[in-house]
Structure 1
Amino acid sequence: MRVGTSEDDIDRLLGTLTPRARALLLHGATTWRTRAEPAVGLRELVMSDGPAGVRGQSWDERSTSVLLPCATALAATWDEALVERLGGLLAAEARRKGVHVLLTPTLNLHRTPLGGRHFECFSEDPELTGRIGAALIRGIQAGGVAATAKHYVANDSETDRLTVDVRVGERALREVYLAPFEAAVAAGVRLVM
């Protein structure tokens, strides 16, 4: 589908599909690709993890990629222009590997020392995380690749991470946890996970 297709056009195109074809659009073709639907002009999208580099669709050491310093090290520079340029480097790697969507930046905060994936996160500070995350988004998307702000929201613990019920007061939610995601949306991020 073309970018800018109206809601009415989308409804009309989806109405031409059988219920089975519509249902097939609800899941991916593979772990890293969405399903194409040529009948309505919908092409597949290829995704890749991307916090420190572009893996691509396979776990194969023969398919190398540029590797950036971890997100915490990038944030420690406080250098938005540098991080935006590094976003452009990730976009170039993504295009080289046929990737349309990078699953980065990780905008969760360092809120507990038990966060096993903090190397993917920028900092404990929502302002710094938002600014550096927005810079990375701008760089990636200027290179023609979609960025994905993740993991919405308050996903900062490894303990029971697939089942944990995080309860956050409204003030902390707004002032701390949502702030980096708001910065990502203001930067024009294309997806939120």
Structure 2
Amino acid sequence: MLTAQPITIDLFAGAGGFGLGFEIAGFSVPLSVEIDAWACDTLRHNRPNMTVIQQDIRDLKTASSIKDICHFKPDIVIGGPPCQGFSIAGPAQKDPKDPRNSLFINFAEWICFLQPKAFVMENVKGLLSRKNIEGRKVIDIIKETFENLGYFVEVWSLNAAEYGVPQIRERIFIVGNNPLLSLSVRAIARSLMRQ
């Protein structure tokens, strides 16, 4: 029996690589949100049937503003909030007050309002060792945020070189699954492997 494609929305979409991986895995990605104009132009050129919203996600923080953009219920929400505040590249001393460090909260607001079956958030490996200004590990704060929304959360550390990419590129994936809404973790894993 044929079933409809599961629906994904891509937040902090960049030029669309994360969403492309999900498309290759059989997901439909009808909506992307990104602040950068050049990235949005690339998305619109490569995916003319996709709705591309060029806007700062911090301006979309109410249920009504999110639902005005997203007129459907996604099965999964994906995204890679900017990681400059966590990256091990660049200056050795990272600023725990860097405003980019809290963009995962905006991602969590979309999860809260849309209640997808699952989500996947990608970031740099440096996130695992970073702490906030009170000294709490950021990864623990992120996990707790999504657990409080009813999601079972796992953190996966993957190296792209182990999946055929000619580059040592380590990333972490924060994967949440709402057992009451249920989306196969196996389907999520297949999507990540194809990126």
Query: Per the shorter chain, which TM-score range?
Result: 0.3 to 0.5
Scaled by the length of structure 2, what TM-score is found? 0.40
Q: More strand per residue: 1 or 2?
A: 2
Report which of the two structures shows the higher radius of gyration computed on alpha carbons: 1
Scaled by the length of structure 1, what TM-score is found? 0.40
